[in-house]
Structure 1
Amino acid sequence: MQDIHTAGDWVKHTPTSSTLERFEAFFGAHAFDPHRHDTYAIGRIVAGVHRLNYRGESKLCLPGEVMIVHPDESHGGCAGSDTGFRYRGVYVPPSLVQQIVWGKPLPFLKGGVTRDSRLGVAANALLDAREADPLAEDDALYGFVTTLAQLAGQSTAGKTGHFAAASRAREYIDDNLDRPITLDDLAECAERDRWSLSNDFRLFYGTSPHRYLTLRRLDRVKQLVQAGRSLSEAAVEAGFFDQSHMSRHFKKNFGLSPSRWCSPDVASLHE
């Protein structure tokens, strides 16, 4: 991240070549004057209290809450307590959102602040997505936009799926676990546009393309470890960046670390 410090305040920007700009910041008192973006401005409070001035209202934003400022809406902010506030943020261009909602009005969250757990999970996924894993970033963007649309009262029902396209994408994933896979790769092999395919996959296989890919890679890790490979070897052979990358996903999906899963006491449970 690129660091910017001003009298105790700081902003860290994540260098990126993607269309999403991510950052993290701390402000002890005054944060920013009224201004506007031509993007969605999404923030997740990490610590402290933020006072957001938005659409004629002043609201306190607490840890765990999500702020969503609509494109071209003026907003300003300052600390809501003496301890300041820290938050993570990401800017999402409306053009990307429009590719997912496909001609519907841009989702608008009234009030701009929510504690809804569904949107919190979706915002965290978007903030945590790694540029080095474009399929994860696309998956997080799709999840965030569709969740925001639902909370804004826009129906996402009625979309018909294309089973043959979803099946081709699934087969492509199964055949290419050890190489990088993007949503564009899947869309090309499925002969479907990327966001329609993302919807197809969820409709027919109950999960996103990225999560399906991750779980198949984890299955491969378990097979390789049982065959005698080390965790580091298994992680790379299964398509993860490294052992650390694999371990994070392993614990998130199975509730325990891969080293513990491989221990004799735990292994006996799987026999």
Structure 2
Amino acid sequence: MLSLGDGVQIVETGDLRHAFAPHRHDEYVIGITTQGVQSFRYRREDRAALPGQAFVIHPDELHDGRPGTESGYGYRAAYISPELIGEALGGVSLPFVRQVVGSDRGLFAAISGLLEAGSETEREPAAALARLADVLARMSGMPPRRAPEHRTALLRIRDHLADCWRDGISMAEIEAEHGLDRFTVARHFRRYFGVSPHRFLTLRRLDRARHMIRNGAELADVAAAAGFADQSHMTRLFKKAFGVTPGQWRTLMS
């Protein structure tokens, strides 16, 4: 089990062959079946989730679980506190999704993003949670919320990020400094600036790395000075952003 902080736990299982007795969770359980047939009884109906299908189980609702075939099943799921979903939606009533199992593309993309949160490629659980909460609200038939104007505050946040690009800043610090909650920042920063806050910081570090490489600095020194964990970390992100490694880029610039 992987924790993404208060209110979110990630669980990944495979080759499950035993049955779970009827039980309840305090959280939303939202996930994707990865192998086999995941069968369970929920809301007085028998359900079956196939590989690639997403499923949603609501807090405090009775359900069981069992393999649908002799080969067992596997899934990846996020256990999310209802308080966190409510916070992500701005304090409105919690979403109620009637479609328990399905292939809704938006839901699949949103839960996939949350399941990857905390990995090297996705380190923004607030943004992933905001996307997932919005999808749950849509699937529940909740009316779209009118987005308030936050441009002035977001401009200040962008400038703050630009000033502390090397050491970074946490979402908690942004909340305290600028008065916008993490979900609002996650939703609207990309709208105004085209990238997420985390990506904005990464690009500033990569800009610094390119400047130093162009001026002849050693790659290990560049990685340390630009705020990366080590040279291999810088190399992975550099190639992902620009399509070449730092060494290849230095050759191209010479």
Shift of 1:253: 4.8
Contact 1:39–1:71 at 8 Å: present in 2 too? Answer: yes
Question: What SS is found at the alignment partner of 1:145?
Answer: helix
Structure 1 stretches of at least 4 aligned residues deviating more than 4 Å after TM superposition: 131-135, 229-233, 243-254
Structure-2-length-normalised TM-score: 0.83
Of all paired residues, the percent bearing the same amino acid is: 35
Unaligned runs of 5+ residues in structure 2 are none
Contact 2:126–2:183 at 8 Å: present in 1 too? Answer: no
Cα separation, partners in 2 of 1:200 and 1:14, compared to 1, 3 Å: closer
Identify which of structures 1 and 2 has the higher relative contact order when contacts are C-alpha pairs closer than 8 Å and 6+ apart. Answer: 2
Shift of 1:140: 1.8
Contact 1:135–1:182 at 8 Å: present in 2 too? Answer: no
The CA distance in 1 between the partners of 2:185 and 2:46, in whole Å, is 41
Counterparts of residues 253-268 of structure 1 (less than 5 Å): 253-254=241-242, 256=243, 258=245, 262=249, 264=251, 267=252
Shift of 1:142: 1.7
Counterparts of residues 48-67 of structure 1 (less than 5 Å): 48-67=36-55
Contact 1:165–1:200 at 8 Å: present in 2 too? Answer: no
Q: Does residue 160 of structure 1 match 2:148?
A: yes
**2:12 match:** 24
Structure-1-length-normalised TM-score: 0.79
**2:96 match:** 108
Shift of 1:158: 1.0
Counterparts of residues 222-261 of structure 1 (less than 5 Å): 222-229=210-217, 231-250=219-238, 252-254=240-242, 256=243, 258=245
Cα deviation, 1:195-253, whole Å, max 9, x if unaligned, reads 33333423422443223333333333333433334555444433333445445545555
Cα deviation, 1:56-96, whole Å, max 9, x if unaligned, reads 22222122222221111112111122221121222110111
Contact 1:135–1:183 at 8 Å: present in 2 too? Answer: no
Q: Does residue 212 of structure 1 match 2:203?
A: no
**1:6 match:** none
RMSD: 3.0
